[in-house]
Amino acid sequence: MARTIIEPFRIKTVEPIRITTRPERERLLREAGYNVFLLRAEDVLIDLLTDSGTSAMSQEQWAALMRGDESYAGSRSWYRFEAAVRDIFGFAHVIPTHQGRAAERILFAIACRPGDIVPNNTHFDTTRANIEQAGAEARDLPCPEGRDPAAVHPFKGNLDVRALEELIREAGPERIPLVLVTVTNNSGGGQPVSLANLREVRDVTKKYGIPLYLDACRFAENAYFIKLREEGCAERSVKEIAREMFSLADGCTMSAKKDAFANIGGFLCTNDPELAREERDLLILTEGYPTYGGLAGRDLEAIARGLEEVLDEDYLRYRFASTRYLGEHISRAGVPIVEPPGGHAIYIDAKAMLPHIPPSRFPAQALACELYLAGGVRGVEIGSVMFGKKDPATGEEIPASMELLRLAIPRRVYTQSHIDYVVETILEVHEHREAIRGLRLTYEAPFLRHFTARFETAE
Ligand code: F0G
């Protein structure tokens, strides 16, 4: 008999969470300008805003903190960190940073010139913003299945290789400083990229002499999807698959706040010694000396240990089961989600669920507010608030291609009854979906506006 897939750990420390009343939440949300980023975390019951930096660390990670060597240069913890990264990622040069976007900023500041184009399956918000900050254009080239939330395909995160080659021919390879592939494709629904797709992308980039980088935040989840879904991979270890993914690339950016179970940290890797030298020079200017890069020695220790633990296949089996559990329970009841469930999150298709709210009234943001009001559950909008653009000529809003509400599951944090509660809350909101109203923007920052935007309810 198939047994329940259980959490492969037990709880040693507990952190209380606070139940609020609906009238309290109505007041708190109004004060937060209908932007859940502006709530106090204390006022959130189940926090699915992000899986970034929110993991529970293991006893071995907490023990490793005590071994942190806080020497400024050449600390023992740095060498342990570098060895752990090299063992999986295999790149010649490892550059530590305080988180993923710092790695992005350094890479794009050096690699990109105004007028350049950086293709990706789908850029995440900070990646796009850092490319644009360098004067270049961030171009999304997801495979056609990846654009359709309801389409079921094993590797919806794949990059459209034909579109990539067309772009290179049209723009000219000299305008494309690098190609990125995000594993798994976060903004595209947490969907995986296949080894076959990575090999094809590598062949095209090699043909035109363009470096290939992985945005590797969720590399272990991507590798586990490959093990489960790609032909000939079932008997391979996740580590071996991860190593093959990285062997196809010239470098990577990484946020250790995801698949390294760390609360902070990241790194940048490359095989190019000249580029590494320039990156280290810039690192010293803004992040720190190259053997700590803005991190404490203890952070380096936690990451080194986390990278070992994340490849544990019992953990990954549980991780996928718990995400799928949420996805299946709501989709069976009729809630439209990005199919199939991703590794780290479930994405509700707000455009399909709330067809009466146009993109200009931010249906996924409205849904985020409703979930909070109904049960103190916090998700995040990945739609026109995050990725909408202004038409430079008319000032009119150009909506994002999808209006998603992401429910990201922190690693090793919530139990099945927490998720049952989330399911109940979503189903209650779904039942009353026709009464949900859209939102109007009252304040926005010039870039990455979703973090600080304020709204009012629209009629
Ligand atoms: N790339 C991807 C695919 C990401 O998901 C993130 C962060 C980053 C880069 C940047 O890393 O936060 O360490 O600077 N994503 C978080 C999220 C914030 O909620 O998905 P960072």
Give the pLDDT confidence score for residue 209 in this predicted structure: 98
Task: Please give the CATH superfamily to which domain 22-51+312-457 belongs.
Answer: Aspartate Aminotransferase, domain 1 (3.90.1150.10)
Task: Name the β-bridge partners of 255.
Answer: 266
| Domain spans, the chain | 22-51+312-457, 59-309
User: Quick check: CB of 265 below 6 Å from ligand 1?
Assistant: no
DSSP state of 259: T
Domain covering 59-309, topology: Aspartate Aminotransferase; domain 2 (3.40.640)
Spell out the residues 6+ positions from residue 232 whose beta carbon is closer than 8 angstroms to its own.
none
DSSP state of 442: E
List, in sequence order, every beta strand (DSSP E) within 29-168: 46-47, 93-97, 117-120, 137-140
Going residue by residue through the chain (459 aa), what tens digit of pLDDT does each one get?
Answer: 889 999 999 999 999 999 999 999 999 999 999 999 999 999 999 999 999 999 999 999 999 999 999 999 999 999 999 999 999 999 999 999 999 999 999 999 999 999 999 999 999 999 999 999 999 999 999 999 999 999 999 999 999 999 999 999 999 999 999 999 999 999 889 999 999 999 999 999 999 999 999 999 999 999 999 999 999 999 999 999 999 999 999 999 999 999 999 999 999 999 999 999 999 999 999 999 999 999 999 999 999 999 999 999 999 999 999 999 999 999 999 999 999 999 999 999 999 999 999 999 999 999 999 999 999 999 999 999 998 988 888 888 899 999 999 999 999 999 999 999 999 999 999 999 999 999 999 999 888 899 999 999 987
User: Quick check: CB of 52 below 6 Å from ligand 1?
Assistant: yes
Give the pLDDT confidence score for residue 396 in this predicted structure: 86
CA distance 91 to 87: 9
Atom 19 (ligand 1) nearest CA: 50
Test site for ligand 1: of 47, 121, 258, 299, most ligand atoms within 8 A of the Cβ? 258
Give the pLDDT confidence score for residue 2 in this predicted structure: 84
Cα–ligand 1 centroid distance for 99 (angstroms)? 8
Cα–ligand 1 centroid distance for 242 (angstroms)? 19
Cα–ligand 1 centroid distance for 4 (angstroms)? 31
User: Quick check: CB of 177 below 6 Å from ligand 1?
Assistant: no
CA distance 444 to 459: 20
| 22-51+312-457 and 59-309 share one fold | no
CA distance 79 to 88: 15
> Could you identify the atom of ligand 1 that is nearest to the CA of residue 380?
19
Test site for ligand 1: of 182, 255, 347, most ligand atoms within 8 A of the Cβ? 255
> Could you identify the atom of ligand 1 that is nearest to the CA of residue 344?
20
Structure token pair of residue 277: 């030298």
pTM of the model: 0.96
